[in-house]
Amino acid sequence: MVIRWYQQIIFPLAFILFAMASYGQSNLKYRISANTGILLNETNTSYIPDPSIISLDGTYKFDPTYKAGFELEVSVPIQEKFSLGIEFERVTLQGVNQDPIHYNYFKLEKVIKLFNYSQQPLVYTTSLNNLIGNVRYFPFPGNNFEPFVKFFGGVSFVGTNLQFNDPDNRSNIFDPLHSRGTKNSTETKWPAFYFGAGLGFEYHLTNLLALYMDASLSIIDTDIVDGVPNFTYNNAIGENEHYSTSTLTTQISIGLCYSIFTPSGDSGEAPKKRGLFKKRRGKIDKYFPFHEIKKEK
Residues 6 or more apart whose Cβ sits within 8 Å of residue 133: 84, 85, 86, 87, 152, 153, 154
Q: Annotate 23-53 with DSSP letters as a single string.
A: HTTSS-EEEEEEEEEEEEEES-------GGG
Q: Annotate 150-191 with DSSP letters as a single string.
A: EEEEEEEEEEEEEEESSGGGSSSS-SSSEEESSTT-SSPPEE
* Beta bridge partner(s), residue 153: 133, 195
Residue 219 · residue 246 · CB < 8 Å: yes
* Burial (0-12, 13-18, 19+ Cβ within 10 Å), 195: middle
Please give the average per-residue pLDDT across 174-200, as a whole number.
Answer: 87
pTM reported for the whole predicted model: 0.78
- The string of pLDDT tens digits covering residues 119-142 is 788 899 999 999 999 999 999 988
Residue 30's pLDDT band (cuts 50, 70, 90):
very high
Confidence at residue 104, expressed as pLDDT on a 0 to 100 scale: 63
Q: What are phi and psi of 222, to 5 degrees?
A: -155, 155
Torsion of CA 128, 160, 157, 149, to 10 degrees: -30
- The string of pLDDT tens digits covering residues 258-274 is 988 644 334 444 444 43
Asked if residue 108 has pLDDT above 90, the reply is no
What percentage of the chain has pLDDT greater than the value 90?
41
Q: What are phi and psi of 13, to 5 degrees?
A: -65, -35
Peptide bond before residue 167 is cis, with ω within 30 degrees of 0: no
* Beta bridge partner(s), residue 218: 196, 249
Residue 162 · residue 175 · CB < 8 Å: no
Q: Where are the domains of the chain?
A: 5-259
Separation CA 45–CA 22 (nearest Å): 44
Separation CA 85–CA 250 (nearest Å): 20
Confidence at residue 209, expressed as pLDDT on a 0 to 100 scale: 94
Provide the mean pLDDT of the chain: 78
Please give the average per-residue pLDDT across 55-63, as a whole number.
Answer: 75
Please give the average per-residue pLDDT across 183-206, as a whole number.
Answer: 91
5-259: which CATH number, 1.10.1060.10, 3.40.50.620, 2.40.160.20, 3.40.50.300? Answer: 2.40.160.20
Q: Long-range contacts of range 167-175, CB-CB < 8 Å, 24 or more positions apart?
A: 169/120, 173/114, 174/110, 174/111, 174/113, 174/114
